[in-house]
Structure 1
Amino acid sequence: MKNYQKINNLIGLTLFVVAACVYLLTMEPTVSFWDCGEFIAASYKLQVGHQPGAPLFLMIGKLFSLLAIGNTAKIAYWMNFSSVIFSAATVTFLYWSITMIASKVQKSGDTTLSNLSVFSAGIIGALAFTFSDTFWFSAVEAEVYSLSMLFTAIVFWAALKWERNLDNRWLVLIAFVIGLSIGVHLLSLLAIPAIVLIYYFKKTAKVTIPGILKAIGVAAVIWITVQYIVVQYLVLMAAKLDIFFVNTLGLAFGTGALSFILLTIAALSYGIHYSIKKKNY
């Protein structure tokens, strides 16, 4: 079949429209139960929600709340609408992930029948997920789970794209998206073991049980580092340094936190420069 990639992209976008229409027709018209009211209010006023705060979700929610054009009665509606868009996009990326996996079995591009099998697998899988109870439930209200699922879907899709062409820019994108997702929900961290195993299977000439166990161990170390050191202790260190600067050195409030941020940026910049200089990328 000619134009396989164009057809695959078109089907993915069509599924986006289908999912968006379904979710829009069943969307909550106003505030629903659970944390939705808190998220809507916090987004509208750009305040801090319950721990851990979901700052990125609240800022994006603020953008959608502006669509109310000053009508406060419609703020909840447009915040719920954001989940519709995020969830529909998740369905699209899921479809593309399924077709990439299915194409390994059917060898897409060989025959029309094999391509139809790949497309069918993607469509069935994506639509089954579209109408699944838990996902549909979070797709129609202002909750963090829809955007979190989108980030997770993008991360796994990007991992499959890397596995296909071994372009390390996909790994950079994965790290960036996981970093963004921390400002929404920590669900994307669960994709780290899968990404490490994909990397291991692709880069290792001979797969062994000890090698798989080592890869799982590396994944655990990465996950623990991000979960505890990056997410929790970096912020704590900034707070402690700020307290030291203010209470001990008598400097202005926020000086310590700003200094910590600048030191972190400097360390990351040096690491990037060193990596490029040594061609360790």
Structure 2
Amino acid sequence: MNYNFINKINGWAIFAIATLVYMFTIEDTASLWDCGEYITAAYKLEVGHPPGAPLYMILGRVFSFFAAPENVAFYINSLSALSSSFTILFMFWSITLLLKKLILQGKKELEKHDQVGIFVSASIGALAYTFTDSFWFSAVEGEVYAMASLFTAVIFWAILKWDEEMSELQANRLSSNATPNRWLLLIMFLLGLAIGVHLLGILVIPAIGYVIYFRVKETTRNGFFIAGILSIIILGFIQEGVIPGTISMASSFETAFVNSMGLPFYSGSLFFFALLIAFCIFGVRYARKNNMHLLSNALMGLVFLLIGYGSFAVIVIRSNANTPLDENDPENLVTLHSYLKREQYGSSPILSGPYWNSKENPRDQFEDISAYHLRRWVVVDEDTDLRGFVKEEDA
């Protein structure tokens, strides 16, 4: 039989096993912690806690269409189950791609025993992950982590497909008209969508960076570290630049147009996005006209990332509907910016502040537990913050 055909059949067989396991062990109703909130938000497209999960809400809403009111939680939980089993499917295919690449380094084609080894190893790896405690736990409840894992798995599989096609192209086994870079554009779109589920999805970026580095550059020690640093910079740019920065600029236009110019609400937002679209179109056309392929691909990648990121429009739309669950009320881009930055949570200093360097409580007062940091609080004035102290007489 053809290798690719067997690969597909085996992958779907592993998918079926994972689906049966998760569907038979799925939660009937809401689990503890955030699950009840996510199910509620998905059922009626309501606004949950910052920074939101609009794509999860949309897909959960689709699944709830098939449920009677008393079974909504089960059907939304099944979204997590299917997301997890698809994660196992793409994990299987990723393992076969890696093993195939490893074996073909020393030969031109796979022999029969090579294929058997690849499929057995991939099956063991995928099924082992199927039954891991943390993954199985998230696969059977209405939470975002299962779908975030799915995006991670699909994105990593996509970069391996890019690597495979680049290898075939360099070996002249593909037509010169082949376009492996389409996989990179797909990855950027998926990264944008992943933001609408959970930020865990973008943590695959360093792995993408290393796959690209090993394909286009000769491996050196300095190159290895530089590739890692650049990958982390790109991750930080998306995390701290694109995600809050785009909305931050849009909110600045909005406040300027409404407060300073007296124009209608959302006029500044519409102008900003029209300007952004015009910039992207002009930039891509300019880059292609001047044969600047890297710039062209980078701008196209940014466009696809922003299209996927556009799922957050649902948060603003549904907040304007004043749904019963409407946390932070992000009805416009100004309040959406605060929502995305999770300002309501405050900050917890790591290297300094009230927790890291506060005085240690005497150990002998609590012989049965480890030492911990004692802190008392008292309101000293209505117009000032809380003041901390260690000894009660200092209050």
Give the TM-score, by structure 1 length: 0.95
The answer on whether the counterparts of 1:109 and 1:115 sit within 8 Å (CA) in structure 2 is no
Q: 2:266 aligns with which of 251, 254, 259?
A: 254
CA offset digits 1:127-147 (Å, max 9, x no partner): 011000111111111111111
Aligned match of 2:283: 271
Larger Rg: 2
1:195 aligns with 2:192: no
For residue 117 of structure 1, what is the aligned residue in structure 2? Answer: 117
Aligned residue identity for 2:254: D
Residue in 1 that maps onto 2:97? 100
1:145 maps to which residue?
A: 145
- Of 132-141 and 258-267, deviating more is 258-267
Whether contact under 8 Å (1:19, 1:91) holds in the other structure is yes
Q: How does 1:29-44 map to 2 (within 5 A)?
A: 29-44=28-43
Cα distance in 2 for residues equivalent to 1:115 and 1:275: 44
Shift of 1:21: 0.7
Is it true that 1:185 corresponds to 2:198 in the alignment? yes
Distance in 1, matches of 2:278 and 2:14, equals 43
SS of aligned partner of 1:48:
coil
Post-superposition Cα deviations, 1:34-85, rounded to whole Å, max 9, x if no partner, equal 11110111111211111111111111111111111xx211111110011111
Structure-1 separation of matches of 2:286 and 2:92: 38
Residue 188 (structure 2) aligns with: 175
User: Equivalents in 1 of 2:227, 2:57: separation in Å?
Assistant: 35
Report how far residue 109 of structure 1 moved: 5.0
Matches of 2:117 and 2:211, distance apart in 1: 24
Structure 2 CA distance for partners of 1:101 and 1:112, relative to 1, 3 Å: same
Q: Which whole-Å deviations, capped at 9, do the CAs of 1:206-230 have from their partners, x for residues lacking one? A: 3211212221221122111100011
Q: Is 1:66–2:78 an aligned residue pair?
A: no
The 2-side partners of 1:65 and 1:272 are apart by 40
| Alpha-carbon distance, 1:95 to partner | 0.2
Are the counterparts in 2 of residues 99 and 118 from structure 1 also a CA contact under 8 Å? Answer: yes
Deviation at 1:278, TM superposition (A): 3.4
1:262, distance to aligned residue in structure 2 (A): 1.8
Task: Tell me, yes or no, if structure 1 residue 236 matches structure 2 residue 235.
Answer: no
Gap runs ≥5 in structure 2 = 167-179, 298-395
Which SS does the other structure have where 1:67 is aligned? coil
Q: Which moved more, 1:7-16 or 1:241-250?
A: 241-250
* In the alignment, structure 1 residue 84 sits paired with structure 2 residue 49: no
DSSP 3-state at the match of 1:29: coil
Equivalent position amino acid for 1:177 in 2: L
8 Å CA contact 1:27, 1:81 repeated in 2: yes
Q: 1:276 to 1:67 in 2, by over 3 A?
A: farther
Letter in 2 for 1:76: A
Query: Structure 1 stretches of 5 or more lacking a match?
Result: none
Q: Which has the higher helix share?
A: 1
Report SS of the residue matched to 2:201: helix
Question: Paired residue for 2:25?
Answer: 26
1:274 Cα deviation after fit: 2.9
Residue in 1 aligned with 2:313?
A: none
Aligned length, in residue pairs:
277
Q: Distance in 2 between matches of 1:57 and 1:277?
A: 39
> What's the CA shift string for 1:127-181, capped at 9, x where partnerless?
0110001111111111111111110001100111111112111111111101110
Q: What TM-score comes out, normalization by structure 2 length?
A: 0.68
User: How much identity, in percent, do the aligned residues show?
Assistant: 43
What residue identity is the alignment partner of 1:110? L
Indicate the SS of the match to 1:233. helix
